[in-house]
Chain A
Amino acid sequence: MTNMNDPWPDDEVTRRLNDLPEVDPPSTMVQDVMATIARRGAARATHSVTPTKRGEIMAKKVLWIVAAAAALALVAMRVVGYPPVEKGTEATIGAAQRYQSPQISSADVKTGDAQLQAFLQSDVFRQLTTDKAARQALKNKDFQRALSDPAVRAALVSPDVRNAIAAMGAANTGAKQDAMSVRLEAVSAKYSALAAALEASPALRLALVSPDVVAAMGASNALGVALAKPDLAMFLAQDAAINAVMSAPDVALDAAAAKD
């Protein structure tokens, strides 16, 4: 939208500002707003039911009874001597057997079903299912391995890293893997953010010598949106999300192509 009353209609800044396109709001905006309003209205109606004085007194009574029972149980345990102490263990002095948890690996980090469900119903997910380049990249095992690495997810948050990869993809669509390695070295020499990310993660290097992955990261806006957020990128490393993207009917792809 351009304001026609600008006193500087033709200057450089106005021209640049006009370069920014109008963005479509999410298609579910109206439904989401109305659903939230309905939900909040219902919650308010529920909360507005004033509890009766009698109900409050009953709740307090129950609380006192439970507290008294718990206190009695503690006293009884003390008197009876429960839990029983085995013979021979009294006054034993030795090194405490402290619990030592193992290092957490990325495989141990699992997101809940609810979070995954929310992701599967998100706009980003819908865009991924209709994006041929994104689906091509998600099929790639090296890319899946890379996304399961927290260092890679953290690196991809940086627009500089994603832009470096995008620049690489634009120049090398259809290139062979060896050529990609050479190109990766050249681009990382130029973009320090990418060099640092490669240093931090060998998995990223493996993924970025794949022409499919690099081309998709350059071409797919949906993938860019997902990778910009580590929590979304984490879902893309999970089989359930990948399978869901892959199993989206080709009809969705055709519809997206027709729209373009």
Chain B
Amino acid sequence: MDDTGDTALIARCLGGQQDAYEAIVTRYQRGLFNVAFRMLGNYEDARDATQNAFVKAYEHLDSFDPEQRFFSWLFRILKNECLNVLRARRPSQPVSLDLPSARGADPVEVRERQRAIQLALMSLSTEYREVVVLRHYTDLSYDEIAAALGIPTTKVKSRLYTARQQLGELLMDWRVAR
């Protein structure tokens, strides 16, 4: 994600030019939506969370600190939206994993594998899942992840280590079960 021009676009938005925000949404929708999708495991929920995050970001654009990376700020808003969705889910409610169509030699097997990986991600606690998602599905550095999450960089690294250990065990179980 390239930050070039974000400051200018934000300044134009704050000056009342709504079309500048359209450029911001276009620029960040893919990254933000994929983070939401991996956090929530559901296409519709990810769409709603991303959309709400963009709208709330617009409404509070004047509180954005240009010293920060814009994506990190957007992510903090998105994270709250995702937490709201997760809280609203009943504990017994199954997560419907809307995975994109598989392409390859055996689409059923590919889908099964992707489903198992997403299920493993979903079984991590939110604080572990978010570090894995930010590390593997965005190009944020450790320091940027730490800034986005509001925790020290060392904690990011330790959480990522534990999360990966847990993922390894979960995916190992899945392979054995197969």
Contact = CB atoms under 8 A, between A and B. Distances in A.
Contacts of A23: 33-34, 37, 43, 100
Interface in A3-34: 3-6, 8, 12-14, 16-26, 29-30, 32-34
Interface in B121-178: 132, 135-141, 164, 167-168, 171
B62 interface: no
A13 B171 contact: yes
B160 to A, nearest CB: 10
B47 interface: yes
Given A12-B168, A34-B21, A19 B117 contact: yes
A30 B29 contact: yes
B17 interface: no
Interface in A219-240: 221, 224-225, 228-229
A225 B98 contact: yes
Interface stretch (A45-53, A138-146, A155-163): A155-163
Nearest to A32: B51
Given A30-B26, A218-B108, A229-B96, A37 B18 contact: yes
Given A6-B135, A22-B34, A23-B33, A29 B21 contact: no
A40 interface: yes
Contacts of B15: none
Interface in B70-126: 94-101, 108, 111-115, 117-118
Contact of A13 (B22, B50, B164): B164
Given A1-B139, A12-B171, 6 more contacts: A5-B141, A20-B114, A25-B30, A25-B47, A29-B51, A229-B44
